[in-house]
Amino acid sequence: MTTAPVNKPDNTIEDPSNRPKLILNHTDFGSVTTDILRANESPKPPKSWYFALAVSFTMMSMLGLMIGYLLLTGVGVWGNNNPVAWGYPIVNFVFWVGIGHAGTLISAILFLFRQKWRTAINRFAEAMTIFAVICAGTFPGIHIGRVWLAYWLFPIPNQMDMWPQFRSPLLWDVFAVGTYFTVSLLFWYLGMVPDLATMRDRATTKTKQLVYGIFSLGWRGSMRHWHRYERAYLLLAALATPLVLSVHSVVSFDFAVAQLPGWHTTIFPPYFVAGAIFSGFAMVMTLAIPARQLWGLKNFITMRHLENMCKIVLFTGSIVGYAYAMEFFIAWYSGEIYESFTFINRAFGPYGWAYWIMVSCNVVTPQIFWFKKARNNIAIIFTASLFINVGMWFERFVIVVTSLANDFLPSSWGMYEPTWVDVLTFLGSFGLFMTFFLLFIRYLPILAIAELKAIMPIADPHGHGHSYNEMTSETDAQAELAEEDE
Amino acid sequence: MNEVTSNNVDRENLYGLAAEFTTTPAIYHAAEKANAAGFKWFDCLVPFPVHGLDRVMGVKMTILPILVFFGGMMGLTAACVLQIFTNSLEFDFWALLPVVGYQYDVSGKPLLAAAAFVPVAFEMTVLFSALTAVFGTMFLNKLPMFYHPTLKHEALARATDDRFFLIIEARDPKFSYEEVEAFMLSLNPETVIELEK
């Protein structure tokens, strides 16, 4: 949609004497507002948006139907059995919680590390986090079997004098995921208030003005407010940083605290956290690439941003690869026959195909990002991110299913096969996720407008750019490029 | 432009005067001068936090971090009390509280398992701190507030887009229309706007 030339000048060049520009082809605040909100303010979104929404909504309805069918019939409609009592629902839960980790990583950890490129991607990564956690929360909710008793998970006084078991990792999960959802929602909303005020002030219809007006809480941009707001944002970032590391650690305790071979290992918390960030970033890329195209945001989500994300994916993917190798090493080094058997069984047993999908997607695929050519090629980035999404789902499948299916005594072994209800429920959760996401990009500020303005060179009140973008004007940039060509 | 857009607001009803600027250095220096001139009831409306502007305005460090600390401590206490009371054996002072411990005997492991209570205690500390940070900011900023003189004037809508405003309120003890107007014009603003209460 933006007519301005895209990614010219090239901001992926590494030159220590010149900090790369993070916002291209914009030299004033007004055009940043207009260009980011163009898609929101246009009377009609592109046709592809309607098409995507129709598909997502259909898939979401399918999720509703599947849950309805499950409730009316019972958990027998799933492939879950004894010994594999966890099956798809828990695989999907861990998968979605993992996806939900990138948002808070970008908004909190990268904020504390002063990584200013995060401002272009934090808003929709946070939104993605919230929607992914909603999807994640659905699965344990329906997996408990008697859904009408889901409130037993919470410490609510009742006539039976019954309380939850606080020494169980499954209950820690309730608190970890609950806290994570609440804090992510607050972080997202707090960050959005000034941008909602921008939308309120630019609203063209009474309804928009009223709705954005209510949600922007009467924000008027007072510097006295900004002072407290900035402090609150910093505090939330500092709180969310250990939180994001704790959430997937707690999820990994669900496995690590059990005694099953293949689960009972101390490497699980860091391994799960790295995997979560890995899958989350892959999902951010999967969504960012079409979104920047459709919504005309290539000047804000530049190649530099995608390249940085590729580097994080390469790093976390390598940690995941190391964890896979270390699990095998320890299985052998421990001398434990069950542990050794489990790992050999994972790679060469009946579920070996899933193991090798996992390894090729998660360990081999990201290695392509060692090459700058690959990091700067949209098609490669997008394909790799899809592979990683698939690989990370299979990682959870391998962990959940193989350890349960073949544990200690062969007499208690049992194979697992998903039913059509399992598969459609999982696909339906993508519908839920995408429906929320599509509504978000249409009706809410997709990028953090105020934060983006603050990293522009002209935002520096001392007039000389010691801020992040050294050069702004096109001519400067082109002169710079010409120099480099020589 | 350098002129006052007169809305013919009568002096009784005057909330204050607003000077409009287009650049961050301009608002920065304007705020610095307003603070130096001894105004107390003045503010800057800006589309994003301008670095160092709060400092030159003389804004005191907020007490928010202290509130958040106590919020966190409250969460920690709540989590410990909740876990100990609901999972433990009966205590003598049990009768004082309508809470009865539910004793799960799992392989004879201790009911008061300090290590097992850490994750929930941590999560609730973070939860309460975060809630305090967000609602504390709203409380200290007196938000939501859906009516405000600065939200009323059309020109000030650009404060959330690309303009920067210095506002000096009429209730300031040093406020006199002529002097503030002269002061604002000396800052070389785009316009000076009268704001109605």
Q: Is the dihedral angle over the CA atoms A289, A290, A296, A297 positive or is it negative?
A: negative
Where does the pLDDT of residue A68 fall: very low under 50, low under 70, confident under 90, or very high at 90 and above?
Answer: very high
pLDDT of A133 strictly over 60: yes
Give the residue-averaged pLDDT of A25-35. Answer: 88
Tokens linked to B91: 């205590």
User: Which of the 8 DSSP states describes residue A19?
Assistant: P
Q: Does B80 touch chain A (CB under 8 A)?
A: no
Phi then psi dihedrals of residue B189, to 5 deg: -80, 170
CB A24 within 8 A of CB A302: yes
Tokens linked to A438: 């599509």
Residue A206 has a pLDDT of 93
Residues B76 and B118 in one domain: yes
Q: Does A166 touch chain B (CB under 8 A)?
A: yes
Query: Within 13 A of A266's CA, how many CA atoms are on the CB side?
Result: 2
Q: Does A64 touch chain B (CB under 8 A)?
A: no
B12 to chain A, closest Cα gap in Å:
24
Where does the pLDDT of residue B99 fall: very low under 50, low under 70, confident under 90, or very high at 90 and above?
Answer: low
N residues, chain A: 486
For A222, the 3-state DSSP assignment is strand
Residues B100 and B136 in one domain: yes
Beta bridge partners of B16: B169, B195
Q: Does A186 touch chain B (CB under 8 A)?
A: yes
Residue A2 has a pLDDT of 45
| Residue B176, in any domain of the structure | yes
| Residue B82, in any domain of the structure | yes
Cα separation, A394 vs B149, in Å, equals: 57
Contact B134 A232 (CB under 8 A): yes
Residues B118 and B165 in one domain: no
Report the Cα–Cα distance between both ends of chain B, in Å, rounded.
25
| Residue B148, in any domain of the structure | no
Cα separation, A26 vs A23, in Å, equals: 7
Residue B5 has a pLDDT of 60
**pLDDT tens-digit series, residues B54-83:** 999 999 999 999 999 999 999 999 999 888
Work out the mean pLDDT of chain B and round it to a whole number: 88
Contact A33 B162 (CB under 8 A): yes
Residues B136 and B72 in one domain: yes
Contact B47 A171 (CB under 8 A): no
Residues B48 and B87 in one domain: no
What is the three-state SS of chain B?
A: CCCEECCCCCHHHEEEEEEEECCHHHHHHHHHHHHHCCCCCEEEECCCCCCCHHHHHCCCCCCHHHHHHHHHHHHHHHHHHHHHHHHCCCCHHHHHCCCCCCCCCCCCCCCCCCHHHHHHHHHHHHHHHHHHHHHHHHHHCCCCCCCCHHHHCHHHHHHHCCCEEEEEECCCCCCCHHHHHHHHHHCCCCCEEEEEC
As for how many domains chain B has, the answer is 2
pLDDT of A482 strictly over 80: no
pLDDT of A484 strictly over 90: no
Instruction: Tell me the residues of chain A between 75 and 114 that have a Cβ less than 8 Å away from chain B.
Output: none
Residues B127 and B108 in one domain: yes
pLDDT of B84 strictly over 70: yes
Contact A223 B123 (CB under 8 A): no
pLDDT of A467 strictly over 70: no
| Residue B104, in any domain of the structure | yes
Structural domain for B88, as ranges:
64-140
More confident residue, B114 or A353: A353
Among A38-47, A206-215, B6-15, B61-70, the least confident range: B6-15
Contact B122 A226 (CB under 8 A): no
The domain segmentation of chain A, as residue ranges, is 29-144+183-471
A451 to chain B, closest Cα gap in Å:
7
Q: Which of B25, B54, B99 sits opposite A463 (nearest CB)?
A: B25
Q: Does B35 touch chain A (CB under 8 A)?
A: no
A157 to chain B, closest Cα gap in Å:
8
| Residue B109, in any domain of the structure | yes
Angle at A66 between CA A63 and CA A70, to 5 degrees: 140
Among A6-10, A24-28, A254-258, the least confident range: A6-10
**pLDDT tens-digit series, residues B128-175:** 999 999 999 999 999 899 999 988 888 899 999 999 999 999 999 989
**pLDDT tens-digit series, residues A453-464:** 998 888 888 865
Residues B47 and B78 in one domain: no
The count of other CB atoms within 10 Å of the CB of residue A155 is 20
| Residue B116, in any domain of the structure | yes
- A153, A202, A223, A458: best to mutate for the B interface, most B CBs within 10 A: A223
